[in-house]
Amino acid sequence: MNETRYTDQHEWVCLSGGEATVGITRFAAEQLGDVVYVELPAKGKTFAAGDEAAVVESVKAASEVYAPLGGEVTAANDALAAAPSKVNEDPEGEGWFFRLKLSDPAAFATLMDAAAYAAFTKGQ
């Protein structure tokens, strides 16, 4: 079963087994505007929760993407290098950034569910 959770930095995390796929939320993509460049982490790199893991640049701004949970990068979405617009077109699907093998899968439960994230973004 795949479940998606969210961070207060506007990343989404979809957990499947012990591996998490990470990207930015539709809300974040809309705030950024047209994405023109994405810098992704290398496979094998490890992060603690909250570490800067990637960079996304748009016509309006540049922003960091943080590792929502600790773990090791198992894959990066290399298709974004050639087509960064995928982040705007499908931010919570084809526009994913990287995958992590989680060091503590139980930490996933500490992230916001969809209802909590919707409430969080309502005031922003």
Query: Could you tell me if residue 124 is inside a domain?
Result: no
The reply to whether 63 falls in a domain is yes
- What CATH number has the domain bearing residue 46? 2.40.50.100
Residue 112, domain member (yes or no): no
CB 87 within 8 A of CB 35: yes
- Answer for the pair 6, 12: CB distance below 8 angstroms, yes or no: yes
For the stretch 85-94, pLDDT in tens is 999 999 999 9
- Count of the separate structural domains present in the chain: 1
67 within some domain: yes
Residue 115 counted as domain residue: no
Q: How many CB atoms within 10 Å of residue 29?
A: 22
Look at residue 44 in the predicted model and tell me its pLDDT: 97
> C-alpha distances in angstroms, 5 versus 25, 56, 60, 68, 85?
10, 20, 27, 10, 23
94-123 pLDDT, tens digit per residue, is: 999 999 999 999 999 999 999 999 999 997
Please enumerate in sequence order all residues whose Cβ is within 8 A of that of 97, keeping only pairs 6 or more positions apart, or say none. 22, 23, 24, 38, 40, 53, 54, 56, 65, 76, 77, 80
In a domain? residue 35: yes
Integer Cα distance of 70 and 51 in angstroms = 8
pTM exceeds cut of 0.75: yes
Q: Which domain holds residue 57?
A: 3-102
**pLDDT value for 18:** 78
Residue 118 lies in a domain: no
- Which tens digit of pLDDT belongs to each residue from 15-39? 998 799 999 999 999 999 999 999 9
Angle at 22 between CA 63 and CA 121, to 5 degrees: 60
Is position 9 within any domain?
yes
